[in-house]
Amino acid sequence: MCNLHAIQRCLIAFAITSILQACGVGPPVKQPLPEPPPPPAQYIPREAGPSASPVVALLDKAQIAEQAGRLEDAAATLERAVRIDPYDPMAWQMLARVRLAQGDGSQAEAMAARSNSLMYDDETSQRENWRIIAQARRTRGDEQGARAAERQAGI
Amino acid sequence: MGLNYNRSPVNRYRLVRMAKRPRAKSARAPTSRRTPKRKPARARRGRKFSALRRGVFAGVWVMALIGVVAIMGYAAYLDHQVRERFEGARWELPARVFARPLEIYAGKALSADALEEELRLLHYQSVEDLTATGVYRAQGDTVTLHSRGFPFWDAVEPARLLRVEFRGDRVAGVFDARKNTILDLTRLEPVPIANIYPTHLEDRLVARLVDVPPLLTKTLIAVEDRDFYHHFGLDLGAIARAMVANVMAGRVVQGGSTLTQQLVKNLFLTSERSLVRKLNEAIMAGLLEWHYSKDEILEAYINEVYLGQDGARAIHGFALASQFYFERRLSELRSDQLALLVALVKGPSYYEPRQNPQRAKDRRDLVLTQLREGGVLSTAATTEAQTRPLDVTATAPSGVTPFPAFVELMRRQLQDQYPEQALRTEGLVIFTTLDPLVQIAAEQAVTSKLTELEAQRGLPAGSLQAAAVVTAAETGELLAVVGGRDPRLQGYNRALDARRPIGSLIKPVIYLTALARPREYSLASMLDDQPLSVRLDDQQTWSPRNYDDEYHGEVTLRDALVGSYNVSTARLGLAVGIHEVIDTLQQLGFTHRLAPYPSLLLGALEMTPLEVSQVYQGLAAGGYRTPLNTIREVMSGAGEHLSRYPLNIAQAADPASVYLLNSALYEVTRQGTARSLQSLLPATLKVAGKTGTTNELRDSWFAGFSGEHLAVTWIGRDDNKSTGMTGAVGALPIWADIMGNIQTRPLNLNTPPGTEWLMIDARGGLLADEYCAGAQWMPFVEGSAPTEYAPCAHSGPVERTTRWFQDLFN
């Protein structure tokens, strides 16, 4: 019983926040407990986000258009995907790639950066964004910036 | 008629033309050959006449020749006219403006009610039989509909039988109901929101013959021109019959005009009644028949014919008449409805079905009888059709846009690329970003809340004015624009043109300027909120005051924003520099030049609600600015791509600093000046925002966003007198009403890379632990957080952990 209690407390030590109240146990409290903190810690599942499927369907469609060289159609389709889920980093990344292919380096760079700001744990994709940024900067003649981006991309 | 309408008209034209042209030539040839044969005969006879007679005869002959040349010349002139008009841009066509198409996919926040509202806007009918397009059936959590399809920019959306299943306020699945397959996503046809008419106000929808129901052409021919496929432009039999009928009646009761003649009359001639005109009509009808196929003539007739009047707007063509009388597509009409449209050809105003229903019905039934007599309809079908009511909509759909404020903004954005003349005449198809569901919610919020506020506060009804702008937070697409309390009224558009001081709406810009320097400022930085006096360059003293004249001593940067304290904010603004604040504002997309007066820090600068939206859009989109946009694409009437307005973004601020700011703006709606939102919105809908109030309560503002929508609302008076309301009392309830009535998603507070959340003791801005009362969680750019613990914390991290473990294990 006591042992169980100890394990329970041990767990609490690593999850200091809201669990305190849920368990009703904790270190001796001399002062009132802090207010329940606002939840935004790490990785809150999107409560209302749509499932990935319509976006994935559009990304597939855009890829076909991109490979066929129909870049404007690909861009239009990807914008449709962004409208449906603006927090999908892959849609932004593909859009950045298409814009780069269309010769719009500044949009490519901004969109790849936008993609990175939405990317939480996918290092491969993050590196791909940096690669796009590097290419965009090089096209602009910003060799130093390109190299800095390449370092981020791990090249 | 035995005609196959399913074949492409292009092929038909070619066949008919090839068959026709040689025949026309051979018909002329004998005339030219006959002349030389006659000459010798005349010459022989001529010898018997005297020289004088010969001279007279020669004179007559010359004159006749001149006459023939003149007539031929005239015919050539008419021929030129006919061909030029018929082959060129036949009509000036209005530009058609559409709302965004509703996208439907599994997981979309869309209730069955919202879908039904969209279907009503598209004039879908709720029926059992789903054979025709433009109909739907709602049963519990399922809506089955037969969509009409639409040629979009990127692809043609086919007409489909769709089944949409709902779970709560969300789409559970979309299915092709015929094939019973799951669809990834689909979109409905877009709601038409405006037309930009030619100056002569002729409105017309052009239909291709292949898209016209065969029954319509059969009815038209049976009633107006039975021999259409056999005559050469004139129907002598019909003329004779008409003459007999007219003589018998003693007045004009029947016309013998063919469809070709009627088309010629409408297309080329004035309505003057004279023999010369009649002659011109006959010649031109012949020319039209000679140059063009029957189907080309029929198609032109179907689109040219005048079928109604809506104020100054003339309704032309069967396709538009179908919308005008039934709010349905031509292909969706029943035989009785088609018969009514054909009945109207004889006299659109005399038989106007909304004003003269009995007259119209009698004429329609007569048309149906003629169809039975012509063998087009069976007796049973005729009787059934004749028992139907007229079924026209109670009121004519207005040709005036219901959303004038949005359309005005759209036209301002279009005018750089498309001159007025092009919009009025070229039949452009304009795809806009307007979301009619959001627009209607915004209009209702403005109208109902203003009335409510006036009643609550004993203000004269109608004294307040308001504006609202709703945009898609990430893409900057304008979804709704309300320019005043009567949203149907075209006039002073306050959303675009009311430039007012913004008050505390400026504050987030000051705080962002500070937070963008993580080495100097964090949300936990302490600010001084005691009275302040600043000596300005012009020797005047500036003494900003807090709203309630309460001063708070030392406060965290976050609390100063959450409580909207003026004095500490002014100090912060002066510390970071007014020029730097202006710079941030311009980064966020405010383009006007500003003089760097300290009063600017408390919002003594003027903006329109649209400009405020632009500035806040950059915040709502995590630091990425995009120009607010009303247009997605423009196509020609024939479906050619003309222009696309691509999404363009630019990093306006560091995403991590914007994240810190937004977390504080979220606190504003939980504990700050906008905390009343807690009771106005569902608990799951997290939002961030800021109230704004100006001197003497002249302007009441609220600007804020969810994870999907940004909305800016403003209340004020046109005479600029006091409204008696702060932002929280006036503009906020409108804002909440909009957000609560649209389907949106909560604020995205996912921690971006490079930031961390820590617990802070607000009394000194130092690290706190669970021993500290009232400690707050705050995000920090990594490395910018305070390292020192507050006195309330038990001690430093090492001892703390040790003591913890001691506590835990004893």
- Class of residue B501 by CB neighbours under 10 A (exposed 0-12, middle 13-18, buried 19+): buried
Q: Which residue has the higher pLDDT, B46 or A1?
A: B46
Q: Which residue has the higher pLDDT, B784 or B277?
A: B784
Distance CA B261, CA B233 (A): 7
- Low-confidence winner among B76-80, B606-610, B689-693 (lowest mean pLDDT): B76-80
B411 closest CA partner among B485, B493, B316, B473:
B493
Average pLDDT over residues B390-419: 92
Predicted pLDDT of residue B797: 58
B88 closest CA partner among B456, B426, B316, B404:
B426
Query: Cβ separation of B809 and A30 shorter than 8 Å?
Result: no
Judged against a pLDDT cut of 60, whether residue B23 lies above it is answered with: no
Dig out the tokens for B795 from the structure: 């001690």
Predicted pLDDT of residue B283: 87
Nearest to A110 among B644, B650, B792 (CB): B650
- The DSSP line for B652-700 is -S-HHHHHHHHHHHHHHHHTSTTTTHHHHS-TT---EEEEEE-GGG--E
The verdict on B103 touching A (C-beta cutoff 8 Å) is yes
Judged against a pLDDT cut of 60, whether residue B110 lies above it is answered with: yes
Within a 10 A sphere around the Cβ of B228, how many other Cβ atoms? Answer: 20
Q: Are B301 and B259 in contact (CB under 8 A)?
A: yes
Q: From the CA atom positions of chain B, what is the Rg in Å?
A: 37
Query: What residues of chain B lie within 8 A of the CB of A42, using their CB?
Result: 751
Q: Are B562 and B664 in contact (CB under 8 A)?
A: yes
Nearest to A40 among B105, B757, B770 (CB): B757
Residues 6+ apart with CB under 8 A from B62: none
Judged against a pLDDT cut of 80, whether residue B45 lies above it is answered with: no
Which domains occur in chain A, in start order?
A: 53-155 (1.25.40.10)
Average pLDDT over residues B599-609: 95
**Chain center to CA of A77:** 21
Helix (H) or strand (E) holding B127: none
Predicted pLDDT of residue A31: 43
Dig out the tokens for B258 from the structure: 């063919």
Helices B214-224 and B335-344, packing angle to 10 deg:
40
Average pLDDT over residues A117-146: 92
Average pLDDT over residues A57-61: 93
Judged against a pLDDT cut of 80, whether residue B670 lies above it is answered with: yes
Judged against a pLDDT cut of 90, whether residue A48 lies above it is answered with: no
B561 closest CA partner among B729, B674, B421, B420:
B674
- The DSSP line for B427-458 is --EEEE---HHHHHHHHHHHHHHHHHHHHHTT
Task: Please compute, for residue B573, the number of CA atoms within 13 A of its CA located in the half-sphere on the CB side.
Answer: 32
Judged against a pLDDT cut of 50, whether residue B29 lies above it is answered with: no
Query: Cβ separation of A13 and B805 shorter than 8 Å?
Result: yes
Within a 10 A sphere around the Cβ of B596, how many other Cβ atoms? Answer: 12
Predicted pLDDT of residue B18: 34
Query: What residues of chain B lie within 8 A of the CB of A37, using their CB?
Result: 759, 776-777
Average pLDDT over residues B506-518: 98
- Low-confidence winner among B73-77, B291-295, B737-741 (lowest mean pLDDT): B73-77
The verdict on B375 touching A (C-beta cutoff 8 Å) is no
- Low-confidence winner among B542-551, B738-747, B777-786 (lowest mean pLDDT): B542-551
Average pLDDT over residues B58-82: 86
Q: Mark B564-595 as b/e (b = at least 16 C-beta within 10 Å).
A: bbbbbbbbbbbbbebebbbebbbbbbbeeeee
Nearest-CA residue of chain A relative to B660?
Answer: A40
Nearest to A35 among B621, B774, B804 (CB): B774
B698 closest CA partner among B715, B686, B710, B713:
B715
Average pLDDT over residues B422-448: 96
Q: Which residue has the higher pLDDT, B240 or B93?
A: B93
Distance CA B810, CA B806 (A): 6
Partners of B607 in beta bridges: B500
Predicted pLDDT of residue A35: 45
B621 closest CA partner among B510, B735, B748, B517:
B748
The torsion angle over the Cα atoms of residues B109, B122, B155 and B195, rounded to 10 degrees, is -120
Judged against a pLDDT cut of 70, whether residue B345 lies above it is answered with: yes
Predicted pLDDT of residue B800: 56
Pairs of residues, one from chain A and one from chain B, whose beta carbons lie less than 8 Å apart: 156
Dig out the tokens for B384 from the structure: 């059934």
Partners of B629 in beta bridges: B477
Distance CA B788, CA B791 (A): 9
- Low-confidence winner among B110-119, B382-391, B539-548 (lowest mean pLDDT): B539-548
Judged against a pLDDT cut of 60, whether residue A9 lies above it is answered with: no
Query: What residues of chain A lie within 8 A of the CB of B105, using their CB?
Result: 50, 53-54, 84
Predicted pLDDT of residue B52: 73
Q: How distant is the Cα of B466 from the closest Cα of chain A, in angstroms?
A: 28
Predicted pLDDT of residue B796: 57
DSSP one-letter code for A68:
T
Predicted pLDDT of residue B540: 86
Distance CA B810, CA B800 (A): 15
Q: Give the strand pairing for B95-98 and B429-432.
A: parallel
Dig out the tokens for A49 from the structure: 């986000």
pLDDT tens digits along B189-207: 999 999 999 888 899 999 9
- Low-confidence winner among A11-25, B87-101, B516-530, B743-757 (lowest mean pLDDT): A11-25
pLDDT tens digits along B217-248: 999 999 998 889 988 888 877 777 877 877 77
Average predicted confidence (pLDDT) for chain B? 88
Q: Are B692 and B726 in contact (CB under 8 A)?
A: no
Query: Cβ separation of B474 and A86 shorter than 8 Å?
Result: yes
Judged against a pLDDT cut of 70, whether residue A22 lies above it is answered with: no
Q: Which residue has the higher pLDDT, A23 or B85?
A: B85
pLDDT tens digits along B568-595: 999 999 999 999 999 999 999 999 999 9
Predicted pLDDT of residue A8: 47
Nearest-CA residue of chain B relative to A110?
Answer: B650
The verdict on B772 touching A (C-beta cutoff 8 Å) is yes
Judged against a pLDDT cut of 60, whether residue B609 lies above it is answered with: yes
Q: Give the strand pairing for B202-204 and B313-316.
A: parallel
Query: Cβ separation of B473 and A86 shorter than 8 Å?
Result: yes
Helices A89-101 and A123-139, packing angle to 10 deg:
30
Within a 10 A sphere around the Cβ of B348, how many other Cβ atoms? Answer: 19
Predicted pLDDT of residue A4: 46
Residues 6+ apart with CB under 8 A from B433: B100, B472, B477, B478, B479, B629, B630, B631, B632
Average pLDDT over residues B23-50: 43
Query: What residues of chain A lie within 8 A of the CB of B706, using their CB?
Result: none
Predicted pLDDT of residue B799: 56
Nearest to B108 among A43, A50, A56 (CB): A50
Nearest-CA residue of chain B relative to A74?
Answer: B154
Residue B551's pLDDT band, with cuts at 50, 70 and 90, is: very high
Query: What residues of chain B lie within 8 A of the CB of A115, using their CB?
Result: none
Predicted pLDDT of residue B77: 87
Report helix, strand or coil for A138: helix
Q: Are B792 and B761 in contact (CB under 8 A)?
A: yes
Residue B47's pLDDT band, with cuts at 50, 70 and 90, is: low
- Low-confidence winner among A18-22, A85-89, B532-536 (lowest mean pLDDT): A18-22
CA distances for B376 relative to B131, B214, B238, B383, B439, angstroms:
22, 11, 20, 13, 46
Residues 6+ apart with CB under 8 A from A81: A54, A55, A58, A59, A62, A88, A91
Instruction: Give percent of chain B above pLDDT 90.
Output: 70
Distance CA A53, CA A55 (A): 5
Query: Cβ separation of A47 and B153 shorter than 8 Å?
Result: no
Please state whether A26 falls in left (phi above 0), alpha (psi between -120 and 50) or beta: left
How long is chain A? Answer: 155
ipTM rounded to 2 decimals: 0.82
Helix (H) or strand (E) holding B641: strand B641-644
Report helix, strand or coil for B170: strand
Judged against a pLDDT cut of 60, whether residue B402 lies above it is answered with: yes
Report helix, strand or coil for B131: coil
